[in-house]
Chains A and B, each alone.
Chain A
Amino acid sequence: MTDLLEAPAPAPIPAPVPAHEEEHHGPTGILKWMTSTDHKVIGLSYTVTSVIMLVIGGIFAEIIRVQLSTPNGSLVSLAQYNELFTMHGSVMIYLFAGPFAFGALANIVVPLQIGAPDMAFPRLNAMSYWLYLFGSITMLSGFFTAGGAANFGWVAYAPLSNSINTPGAGADLWIGGLLLTGFSAIFTGVNLCATVFYLRAPGMTMFRMPIFTWNLMVTAILILLAFPVLTAGLVMLYCDRHFGTHIFSVAGGGVPVLWQHIFWFWGHPEVYILALPFFGMVTEIIAVFSRKPVFGYKGMVFATLSIAALSLGVWAHHMFTTGVVLLPFFSIMSLLIAVPTGIKMFNWIGTMWRGEIWFSTAMLMAIGFLITFLVGGLTGIYLASPPLDFFTHDTYFVVAHFHSIVMALVLGGMAGLYYWGPKITGYLLNETIGKIQFWFLFIGTQVFTIPLYILGLEGMPRRVAMYAHDPQWKLLNDVSTLGAILIGVSTVLFVVNIVVSWKKYPAGDNPWDAHTLEWFTTSPPPHHNFYRLPQIRSERPTWDYNHPGHQAAPHGHHPAPDAVPADEVPVP
């Protein structure tokens, strides 16, 4: 242990594979974008595409909310409404939240955080992106077919999704798009696992990896466990629709509930595939902007691993009301998952505790994530109890619960963009507009979800374009629509911020005095990432290098924040 307590080596040591310039005479313009195998270019493509998907899904959401602002709204027809809520869910889950987390930010940040020159399989990585883009185009092109886009809900329950109840090309395009994006996710999972297992820099042991990288590795394992099940299920669904099989239809001896088992066996691990990367993002951000190391690093890692382990045994809590699932098993497992999530929440607060908090936009977004996620997480515990779920299933209570969760993820994702954006572009975003955006997004989220909880408890069902003439229901729906509009304004502000701060505020290598290796290289990083690497002796090598007077202490032995001299705290 004495070696760990040494001050880090003052002189940088050359990296194993120094960044080089030899590829820089390669193609430019659109051909560069199409042929690049550089993880940073691919990550940026993923970021832009997935944010466009967020905007498309958001437009669907705004239309849905405007339709629901009056009991018998006539903005869209009933059939169009079915398409809209189906595609809103599908775009947000399949095309935004997942690819944004394990495609966009993971691609950019994970190789940088472990000191790797690139992802393990750069060409496979490029193919993941193209499969994702073509999958997205396939799914959305349903709107241009005669029958319209898929309209059976984002879960495509049998027998509603069979060829009699949902004929037409839109549903098939939905299945096809998911096949492509599913393979894209599987390849990304393989790539992330291989990168983390084989391309770490010397001294970067597993228990020195940043929490973001840890979470992405666990996410990758979950992708490999879950996504093949969905792909298999989609093939079965397609066979039922077109080849006359009866896997999910009672008429031919099939079992409709089997689709739900297969779908949710993917679908619930998918919830953690979505959430874990964002947990990782806020962990990094809270630690950096509290000027402290992560509190309870190992606890965080084991909490992540236990969430992954438990997540494979909770799928049927979406199916309590089918009456054919083992209620106690799934209830116990779902309640158990609250324990590691609670540990994470405790550690996030512990990281901030007695820290020197810098309320940057990224930090505000991360705190917004904590609060919103807490609301969504606690209502999730109610839903894990079958007697409560029987009464709230398919009501707006469930809608409110998972929108609290996913809006927390949007807050976390925005935190990630404000935090890591300067690393990849070299320029900071405007903090004032960022903070205004935060307040719109945060307040909008609460104004949007809280009325939905009340509506759900009063019995308003999901997936309806019209509802009973009740003045209170109308009022609650109006408030919720107002929240959705505030969220929309925040997204516009984000775009305005990008335009306003375009190449205006140069970031420098390490604008946040951050901890991890990505801040050791230039912004944007050179081809193959690092000209040099510091000695890695703790989980925050860049901070150790920049603060040579301080001990690089092992876990649990960090100096008190009072001991940090004031002149070491950078001025924003």
Chain B
Amino acid sequence: MKVEAKILLGLGLFFGLMFAVYWRWSIEDAGGVMMFAGMLLCLLPGSYYYWWSRRMKARPEDNPYATQTQGAGVVGAFPGSSIWPFTMAFGAFFVVLALVFGVWFLVPGLFLMVWAMFGGTAEGRRGGKV
């Protein structure tokens, strides 16, 4: 976890440095604001990972001498096939068409998205199948 944290912190600090130079030197604000936001985007997860990495045991994937048996057990939950990602994206498609062709497209769009939200959540509890 320490390496991941250091990558993000390093990038964040570099963006901070660039921001400081650019902000002092340049006459426009947009770029500085975006670089500052980029710095925050790296520092937030980076410092969280760093804080956490000092409080946890090294994971098997951080240990260069780990054997495969050390990683035995459940890695994570992987859902089976699911129709809800398609439904959600199909709803988003109609929402975008509403931006172009008329507000009434929001009716099928939001209906599909809300349906997918409930369907996907319920499926997440049960463990997923079509």
Contacts and interface: CB of A to CB of B under 8 A. Distances in A.
A172 B90 contact: no
Contact of A35 (B31, B42, B63, B86): B86
B120 A123 contact: yes
Nearest to A196: B4
A572 interface: no
Given A118-B78, A202-B61, A203-B68, A315 B130 contact: no
Contacts, number: 198
A4 B64 contact: yes
A173 interface: yes
Interface string B68-94: 111111111011111111101110110
Contacts of B73: 16
Contacts of A14: 68-69, 72
B99 A238 contact: yes
Contact of B86 (A34, A175, A313, A532): A34
Contact of A36 (B1, B35, B81): B81
Contacts of A138: 93, 96-97
A262 B69 contact: no
A120 B78 CA distance: 8
Contact of B61 (A125, A200, A315): A200
Interface stretch (A80-88, A323-331, A448-456): A323-331
Contacts of A221: 7-8, 11, 42
A180 B94 CA distance: 11
Contacts of A200: 61
Given A123-B84, A183-B92, A329-B26, A224 B41 contact: yes
A199 to B, nearest CB: 7
B1 to A, nearest CB: 8
Nearest to B120: A123
Interface string A92-128: 0000000000000000000000001110101111110
A528 B96 contact: no
A23 interface: yes
Given A199-B76, A309-B15, A312-B38, A176 B99 contact: yes
A117 B68 contact: no
A202 B120 CA distance: 31
B35 A202 contact: no
Contacts of B14: 309
A425 to B, nearest CB: 21
B66 interface: yes
Contact of A313 (B35, B79, B101): B35
Contact of B80 (A23, A124, A324): A23
A17 B75 CA distance: 7
A134 B93 contact: yes
B22 interface: yes
24 contacts: A16-B68, A16-B72, A26-B80, A37-B81, A37-B85, A123-B84, A127-B89, A130-B85, A175-B99, A180-B93, A197-B4, A197-B49, A201-B68, A203-B67, A204-B61, A205-B64, A221-B11, A261-B30, A309-B10, A309-B11, A312-B38, A324-B28, A532-B68, A534-B68
